[in-house]
Amino acid sequence: MREAIIRLESVSKLYPTGSGNFRAINNISLVFTKGEFCGLVGPSGSGKTTLLNILGSLDTPTEGTAKVLGRDIGKLTHKESAQLRNYHIGFIFQTYNLLPVYTVFENVEFTLLLQRKTAVERKKLVMDSLEWVGIADKAKSMPAQLSGGECQRVAIARAMVKRPDIVLADEPSANLDAENSIRIVETMKQLNMEFLTTFIFATHDEKVMKFLDRIIHLKDGMVELDKIINKTS
């Protein structure tokens, strides 16, 4: 049994609305272990992104406790949650969110700069990361010069360059064609197996689901089904 790196206990997230509170996620208890390749699946408004945001310490639960790598997300200061994200959590966004004025290399290098790594270390790590995703030759390109698939590869390289414990991917294939979607997920799967990084996706892409070891179906903010498909160890 692999170690648990994320524990959610009775987590709810409420948003105030005109007619009371809206429960985006409702009393969810889950455990994620190291090296999982897992997907949060469900229709729009089911709470996938809200759950990812809490796991990524971008948001806090209204009720319950969410512990990531032993840290209680609800009790972290801004600085502590920033450090958690910087060292341990990688993000992949649907719209890539690459910094437009930076080159591919600089985009990937960004988190390492925040970690105050030396230039030599940064260069090695960035180039390794770009090699993994197969776009080392585009290191000097600007994001605007890349295709959607290439942009998402840069985003993966950026998420992986710091060798995080967890990568959170919000609809990573939503803006990609079928061929690119499969390639991207294959790349992530390889990295997952190589580094035992936990990948958690929010997706409703069937092509992505085929690669998942665990699928958590969410509906109306609650876990409808938690299904382990294929254990990696």
Residue span binding another protein (CB under 8 A) among the ranges 25-33, 63-71, 104-112, 177-185? 104-112
Compute the least distance from the CB of residue 50 to another protein, in Å.
Answer: 9
Instruction: Report in angstroms how near the CB of residue 85 gets to another protein at its nearest.
Output: 5
- For residue 85, state whether it binds another protein (rule: CB under 8 A): yes
Return the residues of window 154-183 that contact another protein according to CB under 8 A.
158
Decide whether 2 or 123 has the Cβ nearer to another protein: 123
Residue 100 is a binding residue for another protein (CB under 8 A): yes
Distances (CA, A) of 43 to 37, 39, 49, 52, 191: 20, 13, 11, 15, 27
197 binds another protein (CB under 8 A): no
Binding status of residue 60 toward another protein by CB under 8 A: no
* Binds another protein by CB under 8 A, chosen from 7, 93, 123, 222: 93
Binding string, 35-54, against another protein, x = CB under 8 A? Answer: ------------------x-
> Three-state secondary structure along the chain?
CCCEEEEEEEEEEEEEECCEEEEEEEEEEEEEECCCEEEEECCCCCCHHHHHHHHCCCCCCCEEEEEECCEEHHHCCHHHHHHHHHHHEEEECCCCCCCCCCCHHHHHHHHHHHCCCCHHHHHHHHHHHHHHHCCHHHCCCCHHHCCHHHHHHHHHHHHHCCCCCEEEEECCCCCCCHHHHHHHHHHHHHHHHHHCCEEEEEECCHHHHCCCCEEEEEECCEEEEEEECCCCC
As measured in angstroms, the least distance from the Cβ of 59 to another protein is: 6
Q: Which of 32, 91, 132, 211 binds another protein (CB under 8 A)?
A: 91
What minimum distance in Å lies between the beta carbon of 104 and another protein? Answer: 13
What residues make contact with another protein under the rule CB under 8 A? 53, 56, 58-59, 78-79, 82-83, 85-87, 91, 93, 95, 97, 99-102, 106, 110-111, 113-116, 158
